[in-house]
Amino acid sequence: MTFRDLLLAGALCASTISSSVSAGADTAEVEKLYRTHCGECHNAHRLGGMGPALLPENLKRLRKNAAIDVIKNGRAATQMPGFGDKLSDDQIQSLVDYVYTPLPEIPAWGMEEIRASHIIHNRESDLSDKPVFEVKDPLNLFLVVELGDHHVTLLDGDRMEPVHRFKSRFALHGGPKYSPDGRFVYFASRDGWISKYDIYNLKLVAEIRAGINTRNQAVSADGRYVMIANYLPHTLVLLDARDLSPIKLYDVKDSKGKTSRVSAVYTAPPRDSFIAALKDIPELWEISYDPPPGFGMWIHDYREDSGEDSTPDPFPVRKITVADYLDDFFFDQDYISLVGTSREGKGQVVDMDVGRVVVPDLELPGMPHLASGITWEYEGRTVMATPNLKKGNISVIDMETWKTIKNIETLGPGFFMRSHRDSPYAWVDVFFGPNKDVVHVIDKKTLEIVKTLRPAPGKTAAHVEFTRDGKYALLSIWDPDGAVVVYDGDTLEEIKRLPMNKPSGKYNVYNKTRYLEGTSH
């Protein structure tokens, strides 16, 4: 049995992949500690799950002393809790030594393994191109990811009633991405499985395992390609959107051979390209999916090992050196200015047209969550606003001068911020800390908090998303006994509650396929 077979079967025991830990530590006891306190989120074999893979290759930016603090006190802006009240200092030290110990064999997940995992559930040609259910507007549908029991609910955004509920892969992450017409949706799970689902027919089309520990995915604006960003192995994987068959694998490394996890990948519609930020190398990659003249339909049949080495690569990489690591990033509406930040809070602006950093020291204190950043027009100029994962603060920045207009104080660190082109308000949660049940509503004209909501006292309230027309705002109560709460977008009054099992993101088809201001890209 190959290592790939063992990995797929989950039969590789912890004792096989563990190596020596600190002197005097009992290996069996350390493995038991790991399985008890870490394995559920980080995988029993340290290969990543809800949490990232815990291998030396993925911990280069985290020193051991800092790792001790993380285990003891938790990690800001993540779901990582502190274990200082459960584990002794010696136990914490032994866990640190354990996760910094290399595996005797690095798991391989290359093109051969990816292809072998490919599953066709239903051929698209056999499926109807009309929905099997009746709704007023297929573009006003939502998909609600329910993390509590790994299901997804298809929600009618006009009637505010569920249409269908189906089981997903384990630990979906990075948000589902739609085909341009809204018929198909692509899911990425933390353990690398990518799924294509036909919303119209309520059926799976295809699945493939593109990595071992996956960060997120992006779908090209023309709907032809899906790009997968991995934490383990350090790769980007290009898939054919028709059936998820693999096209190309990119080993993510710099000119000296240093490899890197991929922080995130997004599509840039006006540029016909994917943009990927690297977590361990100060580089930004732009990968074009616009075929050069003369390629025609051949590009859709290109495969990395096709043997046509003399043919120019239709998916070239453009590498841009940046001022610091990019753990998170954000685009302006024209996809020319890219705003990035490191986990340490160093902000920078990259001009994608000229390919260089133009603002190396953007004022973004703490740790902004730029993936949740939004833009709107304020006093005749475009501003961006982003919550802060370490401080109770919303930064509002002029996107011409790149100067801070205002810092809006909130009741704690926030994670998600949303608005809509036709809404006068921006909504932001307080995801971390004692006020996790709070959501603030900000007037976009005055930059003042006009209302503070507590939809479920004591339970985390998060992730607002609007209907297609901006009339209603939907909010999640992150709890097994949770709900999607529907608010009138103008009066801010509650309209309805839909019980759900720890709903996280809610993704409106129209908003997610039009890349409009106020929503995530």
Span between the terminal Cα atoms of the chain, in Å: 42
Name the amino acid, one letter, at 395: S
pLDDT band at 22 (very low <50, low <70, confident <90, very high): very low
Q: Is the CA virtual torsion 110, 116, 117, 123 positive or negative? A: positive
Amino acid 34: pLDDT? 80
Residue 76 structural domain: 3-99
Nearest-angstrom CA–CA distance, 115 and 447? 51
Peptide bond into 455 cis (omega under 30): no
pLDDT tens profile 148-179? 999 999 999 999 999 999 999 988 876 899 99
Nearest-angstrom CA–CA distance, 148 and 76? 22
**Helix 27-37, helix 89-99: angle, nearest 10:** 90
pLDDT tens profile 274-295? 999 999 999 999 999 986 555 5
Phi-psi region of 76 (alpha: psi -120 to 50; beta: other; left: phi over 0): beta
Degrees (nearest 5) of the Cα angle 458, 461, 466?
155
Nearest-angstrom CA–CA distance, 239 and 224? 9
Amino acid 366: pLDDT? 72
Lowest mean pLDDT among 79-93, 329-343, 355-369, 455-469: 79-93
Lowest mean pLDDT among 7-11, 57-61, 330-334, 344-348: 7-11
The SS3 assignment for 491 reads coil
> In this model, does residue 197 exceed pLDDT 80?
yes
The encoded tokens of residue 70 equal 């993380």
pLDDT tens profile 89-113? 888 888 888 888 877 777 789 999 9
> In this model, does residue 251 exceed pLDDT 80?
yes
Nearest-angstrom CA–CA distance, 370 and 241? 27
Cβ(350)–Cβ(356) below 8 Å? yes
Amino acid 301: pLDDT? 56
Lowest mean pLDDT among 139-153, 361-375, 441-455: 361-375
Cβ(129)–Cβ(83) below 8 Å? no
The encoded tokens of residue 337 equal 């200015």
Q: State the CATH number of the domain containing residue 23.
A: 1.10.760.10
Asked if residue 405 belongs to a domain, the reply is no
pLDDT tens profile 505-514? 999 999 999 9
> In this model, does residue 187 exceed pLDDT 70?
yes
Query: Which residues in 377-391 are b (16+ Cβ under 10 Å) and which e?
Result: ebeeebbbbbbbbbb
> In this model, does residue 15 exceed pLDDT 70?
no
The alpha carbon of residue 214 and the mean position of all alpha carbons in its chain are separated, in whole angstroms, by 9
> How many domains are there within the chain?
1
Amino acid 303: pLDDT? 64
Amino acid 77: pLDDT? 58
Nearest-angstrom CA–CA distance, 60 and 57? 6
Query: Which residues in 476-492 are b (16+ Cβ under 10 Å) and which e?
Result: bbbbeebbbbbbebeee
Where does 220-371 show beta strands of DSSP type E? 225-232, 235-240, 246-251, 262-268, 273-278, 283-288, 317-321, 328-331, 337-341, 347-351, 356-362
Mean pLDDT of the 187-209 span: 97
Q: Rounded mean pLDDT of the chain?
A: 88
Nearest-angstrom CA–CA distance, 327 and 387? 15
pLDDT band at 339 (very low <50, low <70, confident <90, very high): very high
Nearest-angstrom CA–CA distance, 427 and 212? 35
**Helix 89-99, helix 64-73: angle, nearest 10:** 130
Amino acid 64: pLDDT? 79
DSSP states of 426-477: EEEE--SSTTTT-EEEEETTTTEEEEEE-SSTTSEEEEEEE-TTSSEEEEEE
Asked if residue 277 belongs to a domain, the reply is no
330 forms bridges with which residues in the sheet?
339
Q: What is the pTM of this model?
A: 0.86
Cβ(348)–Cβ(357) below 8 Å? yes
Higher local confidence (pLDDT), 121 or 39: 121
Amino acid 81: pLDDT? 81
Nearest-angstrom CA–CA distance, 238 and 451? 44
Q: Residue 341 CB: number of other CB atoms within 10 A?
A: 25
Phi-psi region of 520 (alpha: psi -120 to 50; beta: other; left: phi over 0): beta
Amino acid 83: pLDDT? 85
> In this model, does residue 265 exceed pLDDT 90?
yes
Lowest mean pLDDT among 51-65, 135-149, 372-386, 415-429: 51-65
Asked if residue 15 belongs to a domain, the reply is yes
The alpha carbon of residue 457 and the mean position of all alpha carbons in its chain are separated, in whole angstroms, by 27
pLDDT band at 41 (very low <50, low <70, confident <90, very high): confident
